[in-house]
Amino acid sequence: LGVPHDGIDSAMDCPGYEGFIMTHALNLGENNFYWSKCSVRAFQEFF
């Protein structure tokens, strides 16, 4: 769907260390089952 990993390309303002679904590395935490604002934005642009 064109959703980049957090902290990369158009998702630079969503650091990967926050641990959302599209983080590029394993980072266990409270955000693991949530989309970052960058992922939500990419979904909205796609649909």
pLDDT number for residue 13: 94
- Does residue 4 belong to any structural domain of this protein? no
Q: What is the pLDDT of residue 27?
A: 80
Number of structural domains found in the chain: 1
Let me know if residue 35 belongs to a domain: yes
Whether the CB-CB separation of 16 and 6 falls below 8 Å is answered with: yes
Residue type, 25: A
Q: What is the pLDDT of residues 2-29, one digit of tens each?
A: 899 999 999 999 998 999 999 988 888 8
Question: Does 1 map to a domain?
Answer: no
Q: Is 2 contained in some domain?
A: no
Query: CB-based contacts of 41: which residues, under 8 Å, 6+ apart?
Result: none
Average pLDDT, the chain: 92
Tell whether the model's pLDDT for residue 1 goes beyond 80.
Answer: no
Domain membership of residue 17 (yes or no) is yes
Which domain does 21 fall in, by range?
Answer: 9-46
